[in-house]
């Protein structure tokens, strides 16, 4: 579904990604783990077309999208959930959900509001609440739901569990599994390797802008404490 070849990225003179190649197959959940500053966010931003200083190629659904801007990538079915969640704080939950344009293009139909509320019952309960009144977990659910509304086929999620309590992290896990069951593919940044092994199929470890290891769940589980120590968690 997604194939990245030789991706490098810079901030001025400083190189943040070095020759990254990876693929994500349809229906998979794949994680990117790595210490702060390893290049994970830059990688997702490059995939969404949000980072100008990059080289390499990105193919999505058999099309070279390297030269396309973020809106065109969104129209083809890429959805980005940034780490700041990008919620409009003064708008209600429902107003946030009604905002996105229906950019799915040839992808599956955008999710109707009713389907969003079935997947995220908490958002139905909170639908008249302004963004400012939501908990961190509710904000994360809203950010995911908003991108699903666009009919995205591949979600690029920047650390959806960051700062959330274990109970809410478990709920995010249920939602990601549900999203996967609904046919949506996910590439996510995740520092919680224990959680990552419960939701994902494969994992890539980034260090100093490079993929230094690719692992399956069994390997991540076997090396959980070593990885947590390495990540400084």
Q: How far is the CB of 156 from ligand ATP (least distance, A)?
A: 12
Q: Give the separation between CA 92 and CA 127, rounded to whole angstroms.
A: 6
Q: How far is the CB of 40 from ligand ATP (least distance, A)?
A: 4
Q: Give the separation between CA 165 and CA 231, rounded to whole angstroms.
A: 19
Residue 29 β-bridge partners: 186
Q: Is 222 in the site for ligand ATP (CB under 6 A)?
A: no
Q: Is 11 in the site for ligand ATP (CB under 6 A)?
A: yes
According to CB under 6 A, which residues from 40 to 79 bind ligand ATP?
40-42
Q: Give the separation between CA 130 and CA 62, rounded to whole angstroms.
A: 40
Q: Give the separation between CA 45 and CA 63, rounded to whole angstroms.
A: 18
According to CB under 6 A, which residues from 12 to 41 bind ligand ATP?
14, 16, 34, 36-41
Edge-first strand order for the sheet with 185-189 is 78-81, 154-158, 185-189, 29-33, 202-207, 210-216
Q: How far is the CB of 158 from ligand ATP (least distance, A)?
A: 7
User: In the numeric block, which tokens belong to residue 222?
Assistant: 């076997």
Nearer Cβ to ligand ATP, position 9 or 65? 9
Nearer Cβ to ligand ATP, position 42 or 140? 42
Residues that bind ligand ATP (CB under 6 A): 11, 14, 16, 34, 36-42
């Amino acid at each position: 579904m997604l194939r990245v070849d030789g991706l490098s990225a810079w901030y001025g003179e400083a190189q943040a990604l070095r020759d990254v190649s990876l693929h994500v197959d349809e229906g998979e959940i794949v994680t990117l783990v790595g210490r702060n500053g390893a290049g994970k966010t830059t990688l997702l931003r490059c995939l969404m077309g949000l980072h100008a200083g990059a080289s390499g190629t990105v193919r999505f659904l058999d099309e070279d999208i390297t030269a396309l801007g973020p809106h065109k990538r969104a129209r083809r079915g890429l959805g980005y959930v940034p780490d700041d969640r990008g919620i409009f704080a003064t708008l209600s939950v429902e107003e946030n959900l009604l905002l996105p344009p229906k950019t799915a293009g040839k992808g599956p139909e955008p999710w109707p509001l009713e389907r969003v509320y079935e997947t995220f019952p908490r958002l139905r309960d909170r639908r008249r609440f302004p963004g400012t009144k939501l908990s961190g977990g509710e904000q994360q659910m809203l950010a995911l739901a908003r991108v699903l509304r666009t009919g995205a086929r591949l979600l690029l999620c920047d650390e959806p569990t960051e700062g959330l309590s274990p109970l809410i992290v478990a709920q995010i896990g249920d939602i990601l599994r549900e999203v996967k069951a609904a046919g949506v593919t996910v590439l996510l940044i995740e520092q919680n390797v224990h959680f990552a092994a419960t939701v994902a199929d494969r994992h890539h470890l980034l260090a100093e802008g490079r993929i230094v290891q690719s692992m399956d769940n069994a390997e991540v589980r076997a090396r959980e404490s070593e990885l947590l120590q390495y990540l400084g968690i």
